[in-house]
Amino acid sequence: MPKFKYSPLVTLVMPEIKEAINEKKWHILKDFISTWEPVDIVELFKELNPEDIFIIFLMLPTNLQSAVFAKFDANTQEKVLKSLSEQQVRQILSEIKPDDRTELFEELPPDMIRKLLNILSPEDRKEVLQLLAYPKDSVGRLLTPDYVAIKPSWTISNTMEHIRKYGKDAETVNVVYVVDDMGKLLDDIPIRKLILAEPNQTVESIMDRSYVSINAYADQEEAAKVMQKYDLIALPVTNNEGQLLGIVTIDDIIDVLQEEQTEDFTKLSAIATKPIKVDFITKLKEIPLHKLYRSRVTWLLALLLMDLITGGIIQSFEETIARYVVLVTFLPVLVDTAGNAGSQSATLVIRAMALGTIQMADWFKLLGRELLVAGALGITMGLGISVMGIIRGRSFDVAAVVVIAMIINVIVGSLIGVLLPFIFTKLKKDPATASTPLITTLADIIGTGIYLGIAYMMLH
């Protein structure tokens, strides 16, 4: 039976699906939904009641259950596991891909992990523990041992027979891996190259010994960069001795990239991800309110305390402001422009760091380039505000203060935006922590001091 492709048209059959649920026609639903893709079943489940989801889920074939379970978010997976019998859990977990199983164990509480480890078969338990032994966010946590390995001395005919026998359990057969008797990786060969070779040729005769691999302890983001650079669908993972441990596939890398991008976006907006799992943070309807509050309040309080410094600076120039009240009307636009310039600079640097196009050693060169660009931007913004400075300030002296402060503030704000990501990287923190709110707050503090300091010197 052909696979049913989920589309917006499914809304047309939703009334029939709900009617079948109300009439308890579970077997009809099972036969119909079993033809769908796992990701589409998950989308359908979002429209149903939890009780109905559980019944339909249990009626699905075991292999489809496992595929659907792997697509659930961590919170739903935990609820399902608590509701199933040990036999049902063992069946589902045994069918899940090793990398997906490892990701599940990463998200579960310790007591649930211990329970599941006892349920798993000895082979599956050993596999899970091996993958969990790697550091968090390392490539080892992503690898799957389900790949096809061949020997250089085999003939093409023997190799194809081996692929037919073991390829059905592999994550991919688009590429097979050549290893020696010690398991050391020698080459990767596209399947098309094997198909086009003569049956009596040896594998060694078509090897070029040119391949790309990554160490199991490398960071997951590094794997994403390597796969993007070389346009790979699978990346072999090796140990320090060059022995092949497994592969990382493109679907896992896409998940990593989505998670990293979500985490970077939250950091850029000064939202803490610790109270909320990263894969759960975008599901605003499901997040408990207290966790949503905790994820946002810490940075807001920190920034509030920093903003109080701005108030202190303004108070210290109370006499100058009393004599030239019009100065206050220019303060918001000056500090906001400086903050915006700094946010632009930081965004460019953080993105370039993420893509690997700049390194820590480039900070001085970038600082020089930004000084030139920021100077030009500052002069442009200064000219833009000069007319209003004359009209509103009714004085060339006030206009001069505003223009000079604008130029300096844009330069300073831009330099802050460039330097902060490098500083955080040097401190071994994510450069995305140099968030927009942090930069704008620093620009407020420094910009206010610069502006009122210039006013004091020029107008007294």
How far apart, in whole angstroms, are the C-alpha atoms of residue 187 and residue 209? 5
- Tell me which CATH code domain 149-249 carries: 3.10.580.10
Q: What is the mean pLDDT of residues 149-154?
A: 94
Interstrand relation of 149-150 and 214-215 (parallel, antiparallel or unpaired): unpaired
d(CA 82, CA 49) in angstroms, rounded, equals: 17
Please state, in angstroms and rounded to a whole number, the distance separating the CA atoms of residues 226 and 212: 8
For residue 60, pLDDT over 80 is answered with yes
Whether residue 395 is predicted with pLDDT greater than 90 in this model: the reply is no
14-20: Cβ within 8 A, 24+ apart: 14/47, 17/44, 18/48
Rounded to whole angstroms, the Cα distance separating 250 from 268 reads 26
Topology adopted by domain 289-459: Tetracycline Repressor; domain 2 (1.10.357)
Whole-number pLDDT of residue 271: 52
The reported pTM is 0.55
Q: Do domains 149-249 and 289-459 have the same CATH topology?
A: no
The pLDDT value recorded for residue 1 is: 43
Residue 335, classed as helix, strand or coil, is: helix
C-alpha 456/C-alpha 393 separation (Å) is 15
| Assigned architecture for domain 8-137 | Alpha Horseshoe (1.25)
* pLDDT tens-digit map of 233-290: 999 999 888 999 889 988 888 877 777 666 666 655 555 555 455 554 556 666 677 7
Q: Which of 339, 413, 428, 429 is nearest to 375 (CA)?
A: 413
* pLDDT value for 283: 61
Amino acid letter for position 162: H
Top-confidence residue, 293 or 458: 458
Angle at alpha carbon of residue 51, lines to 45 and 55, rounded to 5°: 75
> What are the domain boundaries of the chain?
8-137, 149-249, 289-459
State the chain's mean pLDDT as an integer. 82
- Per-residue pLDDT reduced to its tens digit, 306-316: 888 888 888 88
- Which residue has tokens 């994550």? 171
What is the predicted pLDDT for the residue at 157?
A: 94
Who contacts 12 (Cβ-Cβ below 8 Å, separation ≥6)? none
Which residues, listed in sequence order, are joined to residue 246 by a DSSP beta bridge?
237
Q: What is the pLDDT of residue 170?
A: 84
Among candidate residues 386, 412, 384, the one with its CA nearest the CA of residue 397: 386
Q: Which residue has better confidence, 25 or 416?
A: 416
For 117-139, the pLDDT digits (tens) are 778 777 787 778 777 788 888 88
Backbone angles phi, psi at 359, to 5 degrees: -125, 175
Q: What values do phi and psi take at 246, rounded to 5?
A: 170, -165
Judge contact between 389 and 330, C-beta under 8 A.
Answer: yes
Instruction: Give the orientation angle of helix 327-355 with respect to helix 396-426, to 10 degrees.
Output: 30
Burial 354-390 (b: 16+ CB within 10 A, else e): beeebeeeebeebeeebeebbeebbeebbeebbeebb
- pLDDT-based confidence at 150, cuts 50/70/90? very high
pLDDT of residue 81: 80
Out of 74-83, 263-272, 403-412, 440-449, least confident range: 263-272
Distance, CA of 28 to CA of 360 (rounded, Å): 61
Phi, psi angles (nearest 5°) of residue 231: 55, 55
